[in-house]
Amino acid sequence: MDKKDWEEKLKVYDALVAKCPRFERKGKTMPYTSANGHMFSLFNKAGEIGIRFSKETQKQYIEAFGSSKYRSYGAEMRGYVLIPDKMLKDLDQLAKYLNESYDYVMTLDPK
């Protein structure tokens, strides 16, 4: 993915996070969201968005989204689901998933 395409995808990620006023995007070179000491979304160098869910929800969403586990920098990110590009067209719906992820990490013990 070239820099221009990555930057365009980053705009989509930023627009998604902007729809969720309870948290903000962090990270300059590796954009992410975190709360309670836990990351719950990530935008990788391949221009892919991953959102973190509970183990049970992760399995359900991988099937429902026709997706897979999320990988970043060659490593599988435990609990994360790769958000398919086709889902990026409906940021309102995607914001519901991101808010669900935020709610999930707020149930975890703080780091």
Pick the CATH number of 3-105 from 3.40.1390.30, 3.90.1150.30, 3.40.630.10, 2.60.40.1180: 3.90.1150.30
The two three-digit tokens of residue 19, written as one number: 């729809």
Q: What is the pLDDT of residues 22-46, one digit of tens each?
A: 999 999 889 999 999 999 999 999 9
25 contacts 32 by C-beta, under 8 angstroms? yes
pLDDT tens sequence across 58-111 = 999 999 999 999 999 889 999 999 999 999 999 999 999 999 999 999 999 998
pTM of this prediction exceeds 0.85: yes
Query: Taking each helix axis from N to C terminus, what angle separates 91-105 and 3-18, rounded to the nearest 10 degrees?
Result: 70
Q: In whole angstroms, what is the distance from residue 98 CA to residue 41 CA?
A: 8
